[in-house]
Amino acid sequence: MKELFKEKSRTIKIYLGTEVETDPYEHTTETTMLNPLPIKAIVTDLIASQSQWKMPGITTEKAKEIIIEKKYESLLLKSQKIQIDNDYYVGWKENGRLQYRIEENYLRAYIYIEKN
């Protein structure tokens, strides 16, 4: 897997953010984005049928699967958005928790572009 990761990985940017509660009565929050952190990842596209099967309830035009090293798990959990090329993605969350799988020394996560 190390050789495959060296050959196929490319740089993506992870944006961390801090959330501040602006109104304690209505519980509205404001997110401030920090500078992006570049990491290496294997990125593959998901077709529509794959994204419907792997991320139930998500409707999007573009979804990807990323494989990153396990040492970046905390970055992935704290990420607000992920930049690949010129597109911004968010991680697939269920019940407010990011969904990913650990496979040996790597993490596999699904990300998608949010529809407004």
* pLDDT tens digits for range 8-52: 999 999 999 888 889 889 988 888 889 999 999 999 988 777 776
User: What global pTM score does this model have?
Assistant: 0.80
Domains of the chain, earliest start first: 2-112 (2.40.10)
Q: What's the maximum distance between 2 C-alpha atoms anywhere in the chain? A: 53
Q: Which two tokens stand for residue 4?
A: 């495959």
93: confidence class by pLDDT, cuts 50, 70, 90: confident
